[in-house]
Structure 1
Amino acid sequence: MKYSIPLVAILALLLAVSCKKDLTIKASSFSESHVPGNYILDAPEDWWHWCMAPIYDESGRLHVFMSAIPNNGSWIKDSKIVHYTASSPEGPYTFVDTTFASKTHTYHNPQISKVDDTYVLVYLWKSRDTPNENQEIGMATAKSLDGPWTESPNNPIIKASGTQGDGAYIIHASNPTFLKDKDGKFRVYYKSMSDAYGTKRHREISMAMSDNIEGPYVNYAENPLISYADKGLDIEDCYAFYYKGMYYMIVEDRKGVKNMLEGNPIPEKEIRPGGNRPGLIYKSKDGINWGRPEIGYKTNEQYFGDKLARTERPHILWKNGEPEYLFLACHDDDPSAGFYVKIDGWIPNE
């Protein structure tokens, strides 16, 4: 006996297939604009460099602030912020000074901005004597990139304590990024960790705001803004900026958020933590409610065909209000601080 499938059933099946939602995290126009550059800023012998924060001065000279850590030490206790200059991203680079170092605190993961005539440097700031998780955020300002720098009287501007909107206790505040918002207020986005899920803490993104550059900064009542802690996944190393009427945030996908959002999560025992995968970029009209991400940057393997290493800490070098280069920390066995890619003709998606 022959059986025929009713036409209506066939149409329903075809409609269901055509309407299936595409969960692919697509490449952003930002990532597609990247042109690979080169590895830069090799560390002196017995040291390693990390986390380049680039900015041009008024004369067009490039300045880079970054972390320097002794090979026989630890960034948790021994990191300092050093300052180099060059005429262009390609280099060569000249050492200028050690901007911040301390026998009592570690200075790490700087990010540099300019507001009107003031340079603003934010950084991870941690006492040598506190547990690793008790990281905090500091800020310093100057009228010249050569200093003198004045640390905020409110330091640490974001402490490793406080209450999130859901009542969870913040035990960690680090890796800050600073911007002036469209209303003239100041925001610091940062990596937080809370006890919302008990003792197993996960990296997420929170925000604090102030009417004044130096603070005091007040945590947003509904922090965290972006979190996958309920999935057991991390994001960190945010770089936030306001451009052409939209807020953007580039982050490190530390544990496979992309895979989870696409419906194919990586089994926990197979996740390789750190920047061993492409980063993500989010956009928002208000800088508070962030949508579904796209690919924000690639790995060193994808850009250069090199052995995969940790690609992290995105920072944009701006020129005349336009993003010109993306700097990325990259380190396993390589002596360089990382590499840069040119942002060539980026037109943000509508």
Structure 2
Amino acid sequence: MKLYIKFICLVLITVVCISAKGDQTIKASSFSKSLVPGNFILEAEEGWWNWGMAPIYDDNEKLHVFMSTIPNKGRWISDSKIVHFTADRPEGPYTFVDTTFSSNSASYHNPQVSKVGDTYVLVYLIKKKGTPRIQQEIGIATTKSLDEPWVESPHNPIIKASGKMDDANIIHASNPTFLVDENGKYRIYYKSVTDKHKPQQFREMSLAISDDIEGPYENYQENPLISYADKGRDIEDPYAFYYKGMYYMIVEDRMDIKSMLEGHPTPIDELKLGGNRPGLIYTSKDGVNWGIPEIGYHTNTHYFNQELARSERPNILWKDGKPECLFLACHDKDPSAGYFLKIEGWNE
């Protein structure tokens, strides 16, 4: 009898251990704990709405923000343009500078800005008019001064909605984020979609690499790097960076990956898509193998005690080589482009 009881106890312990190993608690990252509420900024002009702020300081510590603006009577998929504002500090006030990219034949959207040596780099989504909605591609432009025009790469679109990935056809490439890796090569992480799971279309995180800023860029052979398509879910809006010997990627948890990884997934038919929940942050030693994420940032409700809206498009403002603020688009309840959070004491 005693042996039987010991056997039953051993079985129960084993089951508990297996269950515990199968479910993972997605913890708050040290990055998320460093975030302090700032302000909502960059209110749109009447008849327009703003989206997706990409901030950077110039050599004189003037703050520049590039973002999408879309007419209320139009659609971002066909009518978005990239505009340029300046300020002396994240809180503003902001002054309109110019329309950086606008075209009657294409929509320019979701910019991200960086600096490499003496060269500023802007990557963005390009959607040509008259093509299927899914067919989005990626462009890149450079300039030596933020007061001068940007020059688009002759290789644009540098990442096309075509080619092969994981024995499937690439049908979408968008929302790029640019960095220089530890070997001095140029990387663009981006949202990719293939026809592997058609008719469904799941967002996956992929990588393209080049020896030259302007390209051409080649897709990494083992793409996609992060995918939950086999679970019928996805993530969105990557912002990747390399800092103190580690790679990081902040993303929007579009379909509640956190709950899925913790073993209690929200039913698909109950999901409210988009940035209606905390974002995630991944870390990696090589920028290829990303592992399990942690919470990267919380929602507008958490920071500002207001009705929940979509917090999306994370972008970091860097100062003297350190992350100063996290900028997030937030459109549902506020006429501004979104808000920023101060990054205090992270990874020092």
TM-score category by the smaller chain?
A: over 0.9
Q: By how many angstroms is 1:8 displaced?
A: 7.4
SS in 2 for 1:177: strand
Q: TM-score, normalised by structure 2?
A: 0.96
Residue in 2 aligned with 1:254? 254
Q: Which amino acid aligns with 1:26?
A: K
- Partner residue in 2 for 1:195: 195
Identity of aligned residues (%): 67
The DSSP-based 3-state class of the residue aligned with 1:107 is strand
Question: Match of 2:271, as an amino acid?
Answer: I
Which position in structure 2 is the counterpart of 1:232?
232
After TM superposition, give the deviation of residue 308 of structure 1 in Å: 0.4
Shift of 1:148: 1.7
C-alpha distance in 2, partners of 1:309/1:111?
Answer: 22
Could you say what secondary structure the match of 2:142 adopts? strand
| Counterpart residue number, 2:117 | 116
Residue 101 of structure 1: how far off its partner (Å): 0.5
- In 2, distance between residues paired with 1:93 and 1:185? 34
Which AA in structure 1 matches 2:39?
A: N
- Of residues 17-26 and 131-140 in structure 1, the stretch that sits farther from structure 2 once superposed is 17-26
- Give me the whole-angstrom Cα distance separating, in 2, the residues matched to 1:320 and 1:76: 36
Q: Which runs of 5+ in 1 are unaligned?
A: none
- Matched with 1:58 is 59
Matches within 5 A, 1:281-292: 281-292=281-292
- Structure 2 letter corresponding to 1:334: D
Matched, 1:151 2:170: no
Q: CA deviation at 1:325?
A: 0.3
Within a 5 Å distance, the mapping from 1:67-86 to structure 2 comes to 67-86=68-87
**Aligned match of 1:313:** 313
Partner letter of residue 184 of structure 2? G
For residues 29 and 210 of structure 1, the distance between their equivalents in structure 2, rounded to whole angstroms, comes to: 32
Q: Who is 2:102 aligned against?
A: 101
* Whole-angstrom distance in 1 between the partners of 2:13 and 2:142: 61
Structure 2 residue aligned with 1:346? 346
Name the SS of the counterpart of 1:76 in structure 2. helix
For residues 303 and 185 of structure 1, what CA distance do their matches in structure 2 show? 37
Stretches of structure 2 that go unaligned for 5 or more consecutive residues are none
CA change 1:11–1:314 in 2 (3 A) is: same
Distance 2:182 2:135 in 1: 32
User: 1:106 deviation in Å?
Assistant: 0.5
Q: CA deviation at 1:333?
A: 3.3
Considering only aligned residues, what root-mean-square deviation do their CA atoms show, in Å?
1.8
Secondary structure of the corresponding residue to residue 258 of structure 1: helix
Tell me the equivalent position of 2:32.
Answer: 31
Q: CA deviation at 1:5?
A: 8.5
Normalised to the residue count of structure 1, the TM-score between the two structures is 0.95
Within 5 Å, give how 1:119-130 maps onto structure 2: 119-130=120-131
Task: Give 1:347 shift.
Answer: 2.1
Alpha carbons of structure 1 residues 87 and 264: separation in structure 2 relative to 1, 3 Å: same
| Distance across 2 between alignment mates of 1:286 and 1:98 | 37
TM superposition shift of 1:147: 1.9
- Structural mapping, 1:203-214, within 5 Å: 203-214=203-214
Q: In the alignment, what sits opposite 1:138?
A: 139
SS of aligned partner of 2:77: helix
What letter is aligned with 1:169?
Answer: N
Corresponding residue number in structure 1 for 2:331: 331
1:230 aligned counterpart, secondary structure: helix
Deviation at 1:221, TM superposition (A): 1.0
Matched residues in 2 for 1:147 and 1:111: separation?
A: 17
Structure 1 residue 167, shift from structure 2 partner: 1.2
What residue is the counterpart of 2:171 in the other structure?
Answer: 171
Find the aligned partners of 1:203 and 1:68 in 2 and give their Cα distance: 23
Residue equivalent to 1:322: 322
Higher mean C-alpha displacement, 237-246 vs 14-23: 14-23
Moved over 4 A (4+): 2-19
Whole-angstrom CA distance in 1 between matches of 2:3 and 2:154:
80
Closer/same/farther in 2, CA of residues 4 and 179 from structure 1, 3 Å limit: closer
The CA distance in 2 between the partners of 1:75 and 1:207, in whole Å, is 25
Q: What secondary structure, in the 3-state scheme, does the structure 1 residue paired with 2:124 have?
A: strand
Report the CA distance shift for 1:7/1:159 in structure 2 as closer, same or farther (over 3 A).
closer
Offset from partner CA, 1:214-270 (integer Å, 9 cap, x none): 000001111110000111111110000000100000011101111110001111110
Secondary structure, aligned partner of 1:148: coil
For residues 260-315 of structure 1, the C-alpha deviation after alignment (integer angstroms, 9 at most, x for no partner) is 10001111110111110111000111101111000011110111111000100000
